[in-house]
Structure 1
Amino acid sequence: MKKRNILSVICGLIACSSLAQNAKSQWVYKDKTGKLTYKTTATGDRIMDFSHAGYMGGGVALPVVQVRRTVKSSGGADDTKQIQNAVNEVAAMPLVNGFRGTVLLGPGVFTCSASITLSASGVVLRGSGTGPNGTIIKMTGSRHTAIVIGVDNTNIALGRTERADDNEEGKPTTITDAYVPAGTNSFTVVDASGFAVGDTLVIRRPVTEAWIHLMGMDDMKRDGKPQTWINKSAKEIIKRKIIAINGNKVTVNISLPDSYNAQYVPGTTVAKSAASRRVTQIGVEDLHIQCPPLETDYGHAPYAGIRVGGDDCWVKNVYCQETMNTTVLAGNRITMERVMIRHTFTNLGASKPADFSLEGSQNLIDRCDVTGGNTYTVWTSSLIAGPNVVLNCTFRGIGSRIQPHQRWATGLLIDNCTVADGGIDFMNRGVAGSGHGWTMGWAVAWNCIAKTYIIQNPPGAANWAIGCIGQRQQTARLFDSTPVLGEGYFDSHGKPVAIQSLYLAQLEERAGIKALRNIGYSGNTLAQFPNKKPRLTPVKTDVDKTLGLNLAFERPVNTSEVRGTTREFGGEKALDGNSKTYWATNDGQTTATLEVDMEGPVDINALKISEAPGSRIEGYKIEAQVQSDWTLLSEGGSIGDNRVVKFPKVTAWKVKLTITKSKDHPAISDFGLYLIK
């Protein structure tokens, strides 16, 4: 992997964070009159207006809704029914100015074995605070999400977006422009006579073979098998409201998060949107969601936090403890404000959960906080169109990162966020997952602090990192070693720019200083971002006296089996640098696999493997995933207590140990990977 260090992480974080914020971005800056001015690409694309993200389209204060029912903790085995009954009673009340009322949960512990569902518009579930004398929802029972907002959406899998609200009415027309730049808000159609100012439009950008080829997504293979990036039947869908019509030229209220190039995506359609069927005006406030701490991978984690399947909804002042895949924003114009998520144990395995999953548009994640290792703190789902904004958030945990995840999302702003132990990535994930490929276009990281950045420009699109502090990295698409992809636009790297928050600046220009105050900001200065301080976690290492640094130390690991029902013999025990702990399978198991995720392309040319006392293994092979295929590094019979193997240098994304024969259950105390200079 090719890396380019613009400044050392430690010196840069400490020194540059104290620099006077007088740098000027070339992409967005204020002119002499104080008006925001935007630089464009050669094709006219620009950074979009993100200010419409959030409740009611941004800049609107979250409402305070009158209490209609109060629920006290029973102290019994299950409070789910009494909470749901109170919610249903309020849901049956008439709407008054868009709201029915609030269900207030008193102080204490409410034990809940199933989801609390808010499926009627205008209902708020409010606790009595997140502190010691507040409200705790204690999750028990079978696998479920603590609170679900929406109708019939409790069983929708994470990463899948509800598309039932994208219906249209009337005859569609087609965009005629040869090229509509990203970030603009007007386009020309064949016939605008069926539209009127105030109409909401559904714009469908097709997926075509020509576009897939342009993006380089038609040559992905994994284990020799072709991977599908996006099916050609899919479409990127956005909704916009008409603010002006001039002949067949239509101007919409929010700038476009993607470009429309007729050469590659001909036939982009525009139609009037049918009335929305989503629930609206639902809030969750001031409570603590708690489940027991578990050492497990997220695929086996039993409990999630909150799924929002409505529009113009909010979640504020909520503390989620030990939940996995904690929140899902599956509607539009949602604000999540001051949501705190805590994981006691690092997520196990190479696959990572998402604490904030963006699956809708115009959503704002504001002043939120996550602590926990090996997670995606924020990701995006497939074909999700912005604007979406992550503002003033702090994320801690080794190996955790903000990383758009699946198959082409657009229009994401990461604004004044601190990810000091992890990364911010707008990148090509290649064959990762099930062929995620290019994940993000037209995204911006603005005045952020992160340990690393992978910012790449997709073909025909752009991504930016502006005023950010941290280490720049270049890499090939995931699981390839070549070619190394070119960087996106780094502007004023290592020195914050004068416009402290892009989102707040755009919001103030559009709606005035009152809009900032409505969402809890008195201005747009560094004082509004007290968490922007470097907080590097000391990095632990494991060094062999002969072989050097162990590059497998504490990496994510997947195993075919683990002995017993706890993590005492988990795969991570083979990577912890402690020869007294070990990974083991159950009695009678004579074959097994252990797969290490290197979390990026890593050069290795040696390995060390040790069995726990009592050698059992009689056959093994070790392979590395190189260029999306598996390459044999070593194979043999017994392993013993200290087998060292040297081989020609490879660039590995994953390394897999397969035990093909064993006298009894295998047990591995150490598994190390090295690059001997």
Structure 2
Amino acid sequence: MNKLTTTFLLAFIFSIGNSVYAQNSEWVKYNQKGKLTYKTTPAGDQIMDFSHAGYLGGGVALPTITTTITVKPSGTGDDTKTIQAAIDQVAKMPLKNGFRGAVELSAGVFNCASSIIISESGIVLRGKGSDRSGTTIKMSGDPHTAIVIGKGNTKVALGATEDTNQVEQTTTRFVDSYVPFGAKSFNVANAKGFKIGDTIAIYRPTTDAWVHFMEMDNMYREGKKQTWVGTGREEISKRIVKAISGNRITVDVPLADSYDAKFLMPMGVKVAKIKALNRVTHVGIEDLHIQCEPLESSYGNAPYAGIRVGGDDCWVKNVFAEETMNTTVLAGDRITMQRVKIKHTYTNLGASKPADFSLEGSQNLIDRCEATGGNTYFVWTSSLITGPNVVLNSTFRGIGSRIQPHQRWATGLLVDNCTIADGNIDFMNRGIAGSGHGWTMAWGVAWKCIAKSYIIQNPPGTVNWAIGCIGQREQTARLFDGSPIIPDGNFDSHGKPVAIQSLYLAQLQERVGINGLKNIGYQGNTKSEFKNKTIALSPFTPDRDSKLGINLAFERPVNTNNVRGTTREFGGERALDGNDKTYWAVNDEVKQATLEVDMEGPVLINALKMSEALGQRIEEYKVEVQLDSKWILVDKGTTIGTDKTVKFPSIVAWKVKLTISKFSNYPALKSFGLYLSK
């Protein structure tokens, strides 16, 4: 067999993957030479190379560091100071090949009432396992994060020192009329003063022209204008110069956004040579169980978070966090989170949701992780965060939960072979949600995922993709608007597998070879490496009224202005749980009671049904629907009593609010149902 024939056969094997029914994606596929080829948009944009995400830029094995100090649990009292003293002792040791040593926590329970802080580079904190027979950090005391990596627990801006003073040196500007997403080179006005190996920051400005083009200057909440991305704010990408030819600069990692000069003037795109940041690096957290007591609460009232990584080239692996809220924050760059498991016993309460994995840096990899819990964001992105960021081979469960970039323009996220049996993957326009989150994600890719549903929308001038995914496609208007319905983004081979199993692994293998996959724990890019692909979507059993049909408010997130007592026994969610024995109630001193249901999308309703739990008490109320950023009255009255049904003209509802303004005794509502009745 000659070399050409062998190459062709290899390419054919790559293309069919594990399924004879798989087809090529039109956007990424292998050519006859076994090389990845990419379709471009008319402007030249293409799906970027995401393989640079992860520790030391991807494809590098997490190091094994010898134990320097072993700490045993005291059995009584607070162990935080003992653990901290061991970390501080290792922190004084000299760096050797980038590391100082490892602090190992013996098996058992360590009671910790404050944060464990690692503020020097080259330290590993390791336990004896993440199950209950291993090492448990049991959180107690005042609200805090269990483990903090980084000085001062702050997110450090790109191109800044710890005190955020800019340390720019040589500067220049883009001169290209358009630099596409996925590009690795660009032309500048003057490359003099730059050299190979320099760290540069690329500053993409926010201008009135761009905000207008994105249709983000027309958002109002109850008559008040909402600001999406304020003019003057900059999206900052950090790269390393790999080559210079004349005034053309080539960088190490593709650009995770596009740069259209006509929307970025007069400031233009600045390129600045910067000094390396004084940040914590090469810190690892391994083999630990973080335990809190289960708490039925809104996340804003939950006392404990898990791990905040405020350093670069760090990792967290084999950690099990129970009952923490906003559990992990990846605030640095080139962080790997591998086999991190998060569990919530109770559904998060209220319309505001926590994030299990919060992406606040770049080139970060969330790999083979799990999260279980209702009404959460499994993964979100912060404002003006550029990729590549990757969520790989991870499994998430929980009704009302989702992967959803959260606010104000993040770019370059790959969700690769993830399963969300009960929830959504959304790259969308959140409109006035939150404080005017607007367009949340551009240049995002969902690759071969399984989810209950997808909302994939294209911001003006950009693309979001869902490729080879399984689950329902949904369309919606901008959040809280009635119209227009935003068209689908780019769905490719929806409901049918594509030939390349994992885009990240395919790109990684092409860039660094098969050993890059093996270094991060994959023997190959085959279906056998993706166990979560066998998980079926979860069935949903609705609450149904014999006359009105399905209760569309059943188990939706709900906010109230008051809850009786100090527990959740009478929380607002009790009025939506379909259980006639539970009810929402407020305290005696309350003068007005409100219950607000978040429909989590545009839902058509034309009927409501309410029932008091303790007899006729309510003497005056109104029900309003939020649509087009306004509250519209659909019902008002002076009595509710038992099983009061009200019908009204059909209306799209994003939120529905009950306001009780007069009552003879504290209100107690056992049911609040919303319906689309025939």
Superposition TM-score tier, normalisation by shorter sequence: over 0.9
Deviation at 1:219, TM superposition (A): 0.1
Query: Which letter does structure 1 place at the counterpart of 2:90?
Result: V
The one-letter code of the counterpart of 2:255 is L
Alignment of 1:373-522 (within 5 A): 373-522=374-523
Q: Deviations over 1:216-269 (max 9, x none)?
A: 000000111100001112000001111111110111111111000000013100
Residue 263 of structure 1 aligns to a residue whose secondary structure is helix
CA RMSD of aligned residues (A): 1.4
Distance 1:575 1:567 in 2: 14
Q: 1:574 to 1:163 in 2, by over 3 A?
A: farther
Amino acid in structure 1 at the alignment position of 2:207: T
The superposition leaves residues 252-310 of structure 1 with CA deviations (integer Å, 9 ceiling, x where unpaired) of 11111100000001310001022211110000000000000000010101000000000
Matched, 1:249 2:217: no
TM-superposed CA distance for 1:168, in Å, is 3.9
Contact 2:312 2:334 in 1 (8 A): yes
- Displacement after TM superposition at 1:132 (Å): 3.0
**Contact 1:590–1:666 (Cα < 8 Å) also in 2:** no
After TM superposition, the structure 1 = structure 2 runs for residues 482-631 of structure 1, keeping only pairs within 5 Å, are 482-631=483-632
Taking the aligned partners of 2:241 and 2:100, their CA distance within structure 1 comes to: 31
Match of 2:132 in 1: 132
**Corresponding residue of 1:108:** 108
Q: Deviations over 1:115-169 (max 9, x none)?
A: 0000000011000101232000000001000000000116x7xxx9787458442
What does 1:14-413 correspond to in 2, within 5 Å? Answer: 20=20, 22-153=22-153, 164-165=160-161, 167-266=166-265, 267-413=268-414
Contact 1:613–1:641 (CA under 8 A) maintained in structure 2: no
Q: Deviations over 1:21-56 (max 9, x none)?
A: 521000000000000000000100000000000000
1: CA distance between counterparts of 2:653 and 2:72?
A: 56
Which region of structure 1 is more displaced relative to structure 2, 661-670 or 326-335?
661-670
Alpha-carbon distance in 2 for matches of 1:70, 1:493: 52
Deviation at 1:543, TM superposition (A): 1.1
Question: What is aligned with 1:6?
Answer: none
Task: Answer yes or no: is the 8 Å Cα contact 1:364–1:388 preserved in 2.
Answer: yes
Preserved CA contact (<8 Å) 1:102 1:126: yes
Q: What is the alpha-carbon distance in structure 1 between the residues aligned to residue 589 and residue 39 of structure 2?
A: 66
Unaligned residue ranges in structure 1 (runs of 5+): 1-16
The alpha carbon displacement at 1:180 in A equals 0.5
Q: Secondary structure at the match of 2:511?
A: helix
Q: Shift in Å at residue 590 of structure 1?
A: 3.4
Q: Distance in 2 between matches of 1:260 and 1:288?
A: 44
Asked if the contact 1:361–1:385 (Cα under 8 Å) also holds between the matched residues in 2, the reply is yes
Letter in 2 for 1:659: I
CA contact (8 A) 1:115 1:147 kept: yes
Deviation for aligned residue 1:536:
2.5
Q: Deviations over 1:83-124 (max 9, x none)?
A: 000010001111111100000000000000000000000011
Say which SS state the counterpart of residue 506 (structure 1) adopts.
Answer: helix
1:663 paired residue number:
664
Give, in angstroms, the shift of residue 18 of structure 1: 10
Bigger mean CA deviation after superposition, 199-208 or 162-171: 162-171
d(CA) in 1 for partners of 2:471, 2:133: 40
Find the aligned partners of 1:318 and 1:18 in 2 and give their Cα distance.
Answer: 31
- Find the counterpart in structure 1 of residue 9 from structure 2: none
Contact kept in structure 2, 1:589 and 1:664, CA below 8 Å: no
Measured in 2, the distance between the counterparts of 1:127 and 1:161 equals 31
- Partners of 1:460 and 1:59 in 2: CA distance: 32
1:361, distance to aligned residue in structure 2 (A): 0.1
Instruction: Confirm or deny: 8 A CA contact 2:159 2:201 kept in the other structure.
Output: no
Aligned positions, number: 657
Cα distance change of structure 1 residues 163 and 309 upon mapping to structure 2, 3 Å threshold: farther
Structure 1 residues 283, 21: CA separation in 2 closer, same or farther (over 3 Å shift)? Answer: farther
Describe the SS at the equivalent of 1:532: helix
- CA drift of 1:534 comes to 3.0
Cα shift at 1:577: 1.1
Alpha-carbon displacement from aligned partner over 1:418-443 (angstroms, at most 9, x marks no partner): 01110100000000000000000001
Contact 1:57 1:362 in 2 (8 A): yes
Aligned-partner Cα distance in 2 for 1:320–1:162: 29
SS in 1 for 2:452: strand
**Aligned equivalents of 1:368, 1:451: Cα separation in 2:** 19
Q: Are 1:590 and 1:664, in contact at CA under 8 Å, matched by a contact in 2?
A: no
Q: Within 1, Cα distance between the matches of 2:438 and 2:404? A: 12
Q: Aligned equivalents of 1:537 and 1:179: distance in 2?
A: 45
Q: Please give the alpha-carbon distance, in whole angstroms, between the structure 1 residues aligned to 2:87 and 2:354.
A: 30
Structure 2 counterpart SS, 1:90:
helix
Contact 2:314/2:334 (8 A) holds in 1: yes
Output the CA distance in 2 between the equivalents of 1:452 and 1:281: 38
CA 1:606–1:18 in structure 2 vs 1: closer, same or farther (change >3 Å)?
farther
Letter in 1 for 2:214: M
Q: Deviations over 1:419-469 (max 9, x none)?
A: 111010000000000000000000100011111000000001100000101
The alpha carbon displacement at 1:383 in A equals 0.1
User: Deviation string for 1:169-207 (max 9, x for gaps)?
Assistant: 223111000000111111100000110011111000000
Q: What amino acid does structure 2 have at the position aligned with 1:112?
A: C
Q: Is the 8 A contact 1:168 1:271 kept in 2?
A: no
State how far apart, in whole Å, the 2-side matches of 1:19 and 1:635 are: 59
Taking the aligned partners of 1:21 and 1:150, their CA distance within structure 2 comes to 48
Secondary structure at the aligned position of 1:51 is classed as helix
Does the 8 A contact of 2:448 with 2:498 survive in 1? yes
Q: Deviations over 1:345-394 (max 9, x none)?
A: 11111111000000000000000001111100000000000000000000
**Cα offset, 1:538, TM superposition:** 2.5
For the 8 Å contact 2:420–2:452, the answer to whether it is kept is yes
- CA–CA distance in structure 2, aligned partners of residues 401 and 245 of structure 1: 43
Q: Which amino acid aligns with 2:417?
A: N
Please state whether the residue corresponding to 1:453 is helix, strand or coil: strand
Residues 474 and 484 in structure 1, CA contact (< 8 A), matched pair in contact too: yes
Counterparts of 2:194 and 2:216, CA distance in 1:
36
Q: Check conservation: 1:603, 1:652, Cα contact below 8 A.
A: yes
| Alignment partner of 1:641 is 2:642 | yes
Instruction: Name the % identity.
Output: 66
How big is each residue's C-alpha offset from its partner over 1:460-505, in whole Å with a ceiling of 9 and x where there is no partner? 1100000101100011111011000111111111111111000001
2:131–2:320 contact (8 Å) kept in structure 1: no
Change (3 A) 1:591 1:163: farther
Structure 2 distance, partners of 1:541, 1:169, is 58
Cα offset, 1:644, TM superposition: 1.1
> How many Å apart are 1:602 and its aligned residue?
0.1
Between 1:578-587 and 1:108-117, the stretch displaced more is: 578-587
